[in-house]
Amino acid sequence: MKLFRYFTLLLMIIFNLSFAIDELMLYGIVKDYNPKAKEIVILVESGSCRGERVFIINPNINLQREKIINKKINFIIDSSECIKSEKHKILKYFVMED
């Protein structure tokens, strides 16, 4: 019975680790937004991902281009690291008011 408990615990740990999703929280200033392609250009100011980057935004989200350009934004991407050659997907975001 004790062996069964350890085995079950081990399976639960392995299962949870295999489905873990890594995310990275960043912040920056929106420089451009293309609603048709659902791509957003952000000048990232976070230490781990500095520079101008292109991200993909959820197609269900309708942003108004005029209201988001030059605004500060906090956002979470679908990766634990920022790779320059990749377009990461923004999972969640929050536009900061001036």
The rounded mean pLDDT for the chain is 83
Kindly state whether residue 66 falls inside one of the protein's structural domains.
Answer: yes
Q: What is the dihedral of CA 51, 57, 62, 67, to 10 degrees?
A: -10
Kindly state whether residue 17 falls inside one of the protein's structural domains.
Answer: no
Report pLDDT digits (tens) over 8-34.
666 666 665 555 567 889 999 999 999
CATH number for the domain that contains residue 90: 2.40.50.320
Kindly state whether residue 37 falls inside one of the protein's structural domains.
Answer: yes
Confidence of residue 82 (pLDDT cuts 50, 70, 90): confident
Q: Which residues pair with 41 in a beta bridge?
A: 32, 54
Q: What is the dihedral of CA 12, 13, 17, 21, to 10 degrees?
A: 60
Count of domains observed in the chain: 1
- What percent of the chain is predicted at pLDDT more than 90? 38
Kindly state whether residue 31 falls inside one of the protein's structural domains.
Answer: yes
Kindly state whether residue 5 falls inside one of the protein's structural domains.
Answer: no
pLDDT of residue 2: 67
Domain carrying residue 63: 22-96
